[in-house]
Amino acid sequence: MTEPVNHTILLLDIEQFGRRDDVEQAFMRRMLYSVLRETLRSAGVEAAEQRLEDRGDSVMALINPTVPKSRLVHALINETPALLNANNRLAADSARVRLRIVLASGEVAVQELGGALGGVVGWDLNQAFRLLDSTALREALKHRADAPCVLSVSDTVYQGIVRHGHGGLPTGEFYRITVHGKEGDFPAWLHGEPAPTPSTPAAAPDQPAPTPAAAAAPGGARPPATFQFLGGSPSFGGNLIGGDHHTVSGGQVHGDVNTGNTVGGDR
């Protein structure tokens, strides 16, 4: 394994790649590499200044740190969406490409293994992939239904490059997000408005509220019972009250009984 060397880390991942058939996936991968190469060309990245590794539905580019990151951010904000839109216009709906994009930087060591292609390791690289796969970035792309891609930069790139507006970068268009990684939470920055946070529904009460008739009166005393019969034939204890006959059975009623008129006392 080589000694770690600082690199700019660029990751691009195709949304919902696994839902496509083999023919569509092959077409989408060609489009992914075409868009990446044109993006790097527009940022002035020479072939000798980049190392590409294929990850199936995504691609990783390690870029020489001498390439200004501000140029890369500009290209990812302006050139990449235009390239995707142009390519998607010629593609079937089922093969259109939408990307999650991460730009980070950090120490990366190359570990070439016999019989295998590529191989790089590094803490900063791991964090960049955590950001690429984060819920925050996935939700942001899902929320922007008409956008072909969404870009997030690491806190290092934001603090060192973006927030200073190097090269006229739109500092105010980046918003802080929190990534919940396997090794703990860490901050990153999202270009464009973040996805809205879903509101939490109000919790249902544990028990239904008591009805007024069942509520206790102040001091614990039973409230007076009041019955109003505005029509029909109500019954108590199996006895029917109908017409002009009013009968209450099954015990004693305290308080007022209203049957059109008020009768006081015990009935």
Residue spans in the chain of domains classed CATH 3.30.70.1230: 5-191
Amino acid at 170: P
Contacts 24+ apart (CB under 8 A), 147-150: 147/81, 147/98, 147/192, 148/81, 148/84, 148/85, 148/88, 148/97, 148/98, 148/99, 149/80, 149/81, 149/84, 149/98, 149/99, 149/100, 149/101, 150/99, 150/100, 150/101, 150/190, 150/191, 150/192
Q: From the centroid of its chain, how far is CA 141?
A: 9
Assigned CATH for 5-191: 3.30.70.1230
Q: What is the pLDDT along the chain (267 residues), one digit of tens a residue?
A: 789 999 999 999 999 999 999 999 999 999 999 999 999 999 999 999 999 999 888 999 999 999 999 999 999 999 999 999 999 999 999 999 999 999 999 999 988 777 776 789 999 999 999 999 999 999 999 999 899 999 999 999 999 999 999 989 999 999 999 998 888 899 999 999 766 665 445 445 555 555 554 444 455 555 555 445 455 555 444 444 445 544 444 445 455 555 444 444 454
